[in-house]
Structure 1
Amino acid sequence: APTTEHPFSAAELERYAQCPYQYFAQHILSLRQPPTYELALSSLESGTLIHRILHRFYRTILEQEGIAHEGTDLRSVQLDPSRREEYARILAAAATAELDRVRHSHPLFTLECEQLLGTAEQPGILTEWLDRELARIANGWDYRVSLLETAFGMPGLHTQPVEEPINLSPTLSVRGRIDRIEIVERGDRFHVMVADYKLRSAGATNHDIERGEAFQMPLYLAATKALFERRYGIEPVLDGGAYYIIRPKQDDLSLIAMPAEANAVAAQRAKRRSQVLGSYDEQAALLRSAIEHAEQIVWNIRGGLFPVAPRHDHICLQCPYGSVCRIRQLHDDGIITTNAD
């Protein structure tokens, strides 16, 4: 039977779920795309930069004014909407420090700095993020930021020792890095919420989890529970996950795997089945389903099953391995068909 000797990331599992052969080409054959010269930061570089800025911002505030939770090593902080200008200065300092780390000769780098920090005429992306963060708190969001860039089975953003991978079952060991974990004490229980930053759109929905296509949030929730038990001796209540969208077209907050009774925002969105679940029991069933889907993928990988089987047609449009897998020839010969979206 497969063992937990190799920890998997959510991204690896999602890659296999999209197309087993794509996973094989990237993670087993280690095929690489030829490098391209970018005039500006790539989406990945831009996302990483913003992650680092927000991490530095909250780390600074946590270190300065985080409150301790009695009987634990946990500290947490919640921003005060009346201190916006002070926070804006801390955020600008964090951005300047991180921009200095990556400053380079991209022709459009100065323009990107202006987009992040803003100008006299136009607010920056970071300022708009801060305003949304403060507005959420002013409207009654009671979770407090506690853990930042929590890594397990892989290095964190900084030089803290690498936490062991987390075994979620006898055959599933996972690794990852959680952007931020928020907590709130209700009665004698710690309620925790896992938050992930996304640049432009929400990462996934409950439907994606049910279909076995999305693993990041359910595995991070299960890992957080195990981490709190292992590190702090606390069995937390999982209140679900939230995607904080940095450059939203509309809503900057998308919930996932969150019971309607978890908080007031979830209750308001109770009819949005893609985001909110009916109960904590329903959430537990969804997380179990995700782990079972992940276990099946691990079993397939260890069994050497890598068919050319994209789950949706659009996956092939951005895939760099089309010339290797011969997807078009297989289509033309009628050997495979893919699912319509």
Structure 2
Amino acid sequence: MKVFLKISSLLFLSMSCSNDNYEPVSYDNPELSLNIPVGFPELNNSFYTNKPTKYGVELGEKLFNEKRFSADNTISCASCHKQSSAFADNNIQAIGIEGRIGLRNTPPVQNLAFMKFYNWDGSKLSLENQPIVPIITHEEMDSSILEVIGKIQNDTSYKTLFQKTFGDENITPERIYKSIAQYEYTLISANSKYDKVMRNEGATFTESETQGYLVFQQKCSGCHSTELFTDQSFRNIGFPINPNSNEAGRARVTGNMQEYMSFRVPSLRNVEYTAPYGSFGQFATLKDVLDYFDNGVLDADNLDPVFKNNDKRIPLTEQEKGYLISFMKTLSDGSFTNH
């Protein structure tokens, strides 16, 4: 009888500790309140179904800096997207694992919550669909999302963060993408000298900056419009052509040769920190870009009317170029780039 009672007691204790009675720890994961700048364009629709949360952003930032995303564990998103360069880098073209050279210049990661298209050719319409591109691209990380999950799924720190963010420890591709997007949604740059002047916060333009703003409004604002300083359109502006046969600009996505070598108009925010310039780093400095516009760009059947209708150039005096550069530097946000 005593033996029976002893066994029964052990069974009861075993059952009481079983997974059937396990109560998972619940964490409060509030949505973050983002400071949406006045006058910025509408948020991307995907933002509303994946709003940044306390732990989602923490997880996303950790994943953004995770080198195990790459096949040889040497390259993370942050390897090419450096904060000091407005989350771009200063290489002519992106450099991936084993020193492989990518097709294009690394785009900055800033104000992406307000963008309608991602990548220079607009191949993605939501941030949640974008991270897979560098993960699988041979010249970048040359891996797969399943390989990534295999590397991190037993990492206790990740298990904890996935639990805090999503309610359980299950690591899935969708959750990885959503977390990275949540982090990127928080990377908002709107505290430059220009912003402070526009908000009447005591900052004032110098004479050179004021003249540059006037030249900018006359000769640049047609494409670099809105508070993002891009209209997010795709244009062929006659830059020197990338000889890589895989390059076709927007036409790579649409198959429409009327969009051959058209690229998304870049934002000029923090442009001081994102050299070199052009889809594959054709220009080392802002002065080089302005000289090229002044001297005349390459002709093309689909050359943007801004150039097509003006003898393939934007005429600028040397003084106007200096003014423009002075103004563009007012778009530098040191609080965003840690300068």
TM-score class, shorter-chain normalisation, is under 0.3
Computing the radius of gyration over CA atoms, which structure comes out larger, 1 or 2? 2
Instruction: Give 1 or 2: higher strand fraction.
Output: 1
